[in-house]
Chains A and B, each alone.
Chain A
Amino acid sequence: SQQGEEDPQALSIQEGENATMNCSYKTSINNLQWYRQNSGRGLVHLILIRSNEREKHSGRLRVTLDTSKKSSSLLITASRAADTASYFCATGLIQGAQKLVFGQGTRLTINP
């Protein structure tokens, strides 16, 4: 089964609103990463949060990590049409941290 599972599978919001995506995982991790994939393109790394961190910011992105609940969330504030993409969480396990296990992704649509 998947190590990381995103929720919701699809999200549609209006431009300017905030978008929140969640990720749950099963086993202990070294780090958790979020990636974006535009249709027909490769994945682009957004942000990495280590297991000893609780929150991280990058521009309009805010990531939280709760290792006790084995969950993470990605918040995109003031969404734009260009944010329309699929978003994946990926977990780096403690053993073999360089090997990432990806979830199935959240399809985000920003309506103008």
Chain B
Amino acid sequence: DAGVIQSPRHEVTEMGQEVTLRCKPISGHDYLFWYRQTMMRGLELLIYFNNNVPIDDSGMPEDRFSAKMPNASFSTLKIQPSEPRDSAVYFCASSQGTGAEQYFGPGTRLTVT
């Protein structure tokens, strides 16, 4: 298996622009997680899905952030409009079953200028 795939790996954009991050989970996994990592705040869970349904989005910082999972093999995290404080590394992870280990993608490093 190729593991969790994320794209793009790096994104540099200007403040106010829309940013879309993409994730392909491991086939057969029924949970998908979006995290954000910064030096100041560490690793934060933004939202997670179970069988394509959003279960907990309490970590989504603002209405500027939205996430979708149209099918079992694809998810997006969108920021519109982006702000410099959104600069971070965004990770997608997937897992199978409740209380299981999570498999992380390589991350997308987002820089908003």
- Say whether, besides A99-B56, A104-B42, A43 and B99 are in contact (CB < 8 Å): no
Count how many chain B residues have C-beta atoms less than 8 Å from C-beta atoms of the other chain.
Answer: 22
For residues 85 through 113 of chain B, which have their beta carbon under 8 Å from a beta carbon of chain A?
91, 93, 95, 97-107
- CB of B99 within 8 A of CB of A98, answer yes
SS of B interface (majority): strand
Tell me if A81 counts as interface (CB < 8 A to partner B). Answer: no
> Which of chain A's residues has its CB closest to B6's CB?
A42
Count how many chain A residues have C-beta atoms less than 8 Å from C-beta atoms of the other chain.
Answer: 24
- CB of A98 within 8 A of CB of B48, answer yes
- CB of B42 within 8 A of CB of A98, answer no
- Say whether, besides A2-B42, A88-B43, A98 and B101 are in contact (CB < 8 Å): no
- CB of B48 within 8 A of CB of A43, answer no
- CB of A42 within 8 A of CB of B101, answer no
Tell me if A31 counts as interface (CB < 8 A to partner B). Answer: yes
The CB with the most chain B CB atoms within 10 A, among A30, A42, A100, A101, is that of A42
> Which of chain B's residues has its CB closest to A31's CB?
B99
- CB of A97 within 8 A of CB of B42, answer no
**A31–B95 CA distance with the chains assembled, in angstroms:** 15
- CB of A45 within 8 A of CB of B101, answer yes
- Say whether, besides A42-B106, A42-B107, A99 and B48 are in contact (CB < 8 Å): yes
Tell me if B45 counts as interface (CB < 8 A to partner A). Answer: yes
- CB of A45 within 8 A of CB of B103, answer yes
> Which of chain B's residues has its CB closest to A42's CB?
B104
Please list the residues of chain B having a beta carbon within 8 angstroms of any beta carbon in chain A: 4, 31, 42-43, 45, 48, 50, 56, 91, 93, 95, 97-107
Known: A92-B99, A102-B42. 12 other contacts (CB 8 A): A30-B99, A41-B107, A43-B43, A45-B101, A45-B103, A48-B101, A88-B43, A96-B56, A98-B48, A98-B95, A100-B45, A101-B45
Please list the residues of chain A having a beta carbon within 8 angstroms of any beta carbon in chain B: 2, 30-31, 33, 35, 41-45, 48, 50, 88, 92, 96-105
